[in-house]
Amino acid sequence: MSFRMSVSPNVRKSPYFDATVADGVKSFAVYNHMYIPVDFGDPDAEYDRLLNGVAMWDVACERQVELAGPDAGMLAQYLTTRDLANAVPGQGMYAPLCDYDGHLINDPVLLKLSTSQYWLSIADSDIALWAKAIAAERGLNVSVTEPDVSPLAVQGPRAPDVMAELLGDWVRELKYFWFKETDLEGIRLLVVRSGWSKQGGFELFLRDGTRAIDLWNRVKAAGKRYAIGPGAPNDVERIESGLLSYGTDVDADTNPYEVGLGKYVDLEKTEGFIGQAALKKIKREGIRRRQVGLFLAGERVVPNAHPCPVLRHDEVVGMMSAAVFSPRLGRNIAIALIHAGIGNDALGLLVDCGDCRRAATITDLPFC
Ligand code: THG
């Protein structure tokens, strides 16, 4: 490509930015109006560390939308499709958000800090504006802010060892999505058992951005014995694992049932929630599209920069959102949203990848 992208102040820098530059980051993307590292120049090593060792990722762009005040719980319940009635302080959960049409507008991890304080750890869309407006329109006594919180992910099979070295063996007992507040010699953290991979790990939610470089260096030092290295949310692993990427696999009309998130929609939630009526109707009428995995024929795919049409008999029957070559499977894999009437045994599917058409077959997600 013959253009450059400019680093300008309207896109925020993560507090780990300088540490990632020092560690050799090669490219950035923009997520929640903030730069996020994409790679450090050695994709094979980064993938290998995630699957067989341990990697550290600057995911400060997973911004927190804080709901605080007497009505925080009510607002949280109203915003998400999931019933939070049984959630307790210290618990996190995957909690999709929909608009009034039942379309997904974000798929955050929700953390319940107390009965009057919740964080939505958001994917890439502007939820603070939405939450603030809804709280005001409903006259709720709650403040909606973006606190100074910057997650640093430690992912991979050796992540528990690194975290234990840093914070103590108690971290090994944390349940998935649960968290604990702690401090690392004065650096205030929330330690969460989470992360955007299926290889296991933690996210350190740093509560003071001025300590970011210090935290980065401490994690790096504790991970040295385990050959920790820098990385970034890994598209190959996440596609193999079937993890949803909000801005990628979801379009303006995607509803949770189409993309396997129906299990996080509690339609009968008594307090009501945004999108409830629309989602009841969608559930009743059935979905028109479904998310599937695809195997793509031919040489190794170059990851696509745009959605690609899925064709059958020259008719568009879906869109492929993301394709990669999977080292674990030794073949090209992809995620697509296709017409619900097309079964896994459909023949004659092609994906128009721009430069070429590839034969495709359908499979269930996840791949691995
Ligand atoms: N961590 C934090 N914030 C985040 C993400 C994260 N915000 C943005 C984005 N990632 C939110 N999206 C997801 C998508 C999937 C998962 C987590 C966040 C995930 N899903 C598991 C799955 O689908 O198998 C587990 C779901 C479950 O069992 O409830 O982990 O990564 N802080």
Domain of 334, CATH number, reads 2.40.30.110
- Answer yes or no: do 195 and 333 share one domain: no
Residue 195 to residue 114: CA distance in whole angstroms:
22
Q: What is the pLDDT of residue 354?
A: 86
- Answer yes or no: do 302 and 195 share one domain: no
CA distances from 224 to 46, 228, 341 (A): 15, 6, 51
Residue 36, in any domain of the structure? yes
Shortest-distance Cα residue to atom 32 of ligand 1 = 121
- Answer yes or no: do 176 and 307 share one domain: no
Residue 214, in any domain of the structure? yes
Residue 122 to residue 17: CA distance in whole angstroms:
19
Identify the domain containing residue 312 by its residue range.
288-368
The per-residue DSSP string of 325-341 comes to: EETTTTEEEEEEEEETT
- Per DSSP, the three-state class of 127 is helix
Q: Could you tell me the distance, in angstroms and rounded to a whole number, from the CA of residue 58 to the centre of ligand 1?
A: 16
Q: Sheet holding 150-155: strands in order across?
A: 179-184, 187-192, 201-206, 150-155, 55-58, 229-231
151 lines ligand 1 (CB under 6 A): yes
- Answer yes or no: do 292 and 234 share one domain: no
Residue 314, in any domain of the structure? yes
Q: Could you tell me the distance, in angstroms and rounded to a whole number, from the CA of residue 237 to the centre of ligand 1?
A: 14
Q: What is the pLDDT of residue 264?
A: 98
- Per DSSP, the three-state class of 229 is strand
Shortest-distance Cα residue to atom 30 of ligand 1 = 196
Q: What is the pLDDT of residue 136?
A: 98
109 lines ligand 1 (CB under 6 A): yes
Residue 153 to residue 194: CA distance in whole angstroms:
8
Q: Kind of pairing, strands 179-184 and 229-231?
A: unpaired
Residue 207, in any domain of the structure? yes
Name every residue whose Cβ is closer than 8 Å to that of residue 279 and which is 6 or more positions away in sequence: 81, 98, 102, 255, 256, 257, 265, 267
- Answer yes or no: do 166 and 230 share one domain: yes
Shortest-distance Cα residue to atom 26 of ligand 1 = 94
CA distances from 30 to 25, 43, 284 (A): 14, 19, 38
The per-residue DSSP string of 167-203 comes to: H-GGGGGPPTT-EEEEEETTEEEEEES--SSSS-EEE
108 lines ligand 1 (CB under 6 A): yes
- Answer yes or no: do 162 and 231 share one domain: yes
Q: Could you tell me the distance, in angstroms and rounded to a whole number, from the CA of residue 316 to the centre of ligand 1?
A: 30
Q: Could you tell me the distance, in angstroms and rounded to a whole number, from the CA of residue 299 to the centre of ligand 1?
A: 31
In the listed set 214, 238, 262, which residue is the last one of a domain according to the structure? 238
Q: Could you tell me the end-to-end alpha-carbon distance of the chain, in angstroms, rounded to an integer?
A: 33
- Answer yes or no: do 222 and 296 share one domain: no
Residue 197, in any domain of the structure? yes
DSSP H helices, 195-262, are 212-223, 235-241, 246-249
153 lines ligand 1 (CB under 6 A): no
Smallest CA-to-CA distance from 318 within 305, 334, 302 is with: 334
CA distances from 315 to 75, 134, 213, 312, 338 (A): 44, 41, 52, 5, 12
- Answer yes or no: do 182 and 50 share one domain: yes
The first and second tokens of residue 194, run together, are 């989470």
Q: What are phi and psi of 173, to 5 degrees?
A: -90, -10
Residue 323 to residue 248: CA distance in whole angstroms:
11
The first and second tokens of residue 34, run together, are 């903030």
- Answer yes or no: do 179 and 38 share one domain: yes
15 lines ligand 1 (CB under 6 A): no
**Beta-bridge partners for 203:** 153, 192
In the listed set 205, 238, 271, which residue is the last one of a domain according to the structure? 238
Residue 90, in any domain of the structure? no
Number of domains comprising the chain: 2
In the listed set 216, 238, 260, which residue is the last one of a domain according to the structure? 238
Residue 257 to residue 363: CA distance in whole angstroms:
18
Q: Could you tell me the distance, in angstroms and rounded to a whole number, from the CA of residue 195 to the centre of ligand 1?
A: 6
Q: What is the CATH number of the domain that holds 194?
A: 3.30.1360.120
Residue 64 to residue 118: CA distance in whole angstroms:
9
Residue 218 to residue 16: CA distance in whole angstroms:
13
Q: Could you tell me the distance, in angstroms and rounded to a whole number, from the CA of residue 357 to the centre of ligand 1?
A: 32
Residue 2, in any domain of the structure? no
Task: Please give the DSSP secondary-structure letter assigned to residue 366.
Answer: P
Shortest-distance Cα residue to atom 3 of ligand 1 = 121
Smallest CA-to-CA distance from 65 within 132, 140, 17, 136 is with: 132
Q: Could you tell me the distance, in angstroms and rounded to a whole number, from the CA of residue 359 to the centre of ligand 1?
A: 31
Q: What is the pLDDT of residues 239-274, one digit of tens each?
A: 999 999 999 999 999 999 999 999 999 999 999 999
195 lines ligand 1 (CB under 6 A): yes
250 lines ligand 1 (CB under 6 A): no
Q: What is the pLDDT of residue 3?
A: 87
Q: What is the pLDDT of residue 1?
A: 66
Q: What torsion do the CA atoms of 80, 82, 86, 89 make, to the nearest 10 degrees?
A: -50
- Answer yes or no: do 294 and 163 share one domain: no
Residue 366, in any domain of the structure? yes
The segments of the chain whose pLDDT lies below 70 read 1
- Per DSSP, the three-state class of 310 is strand
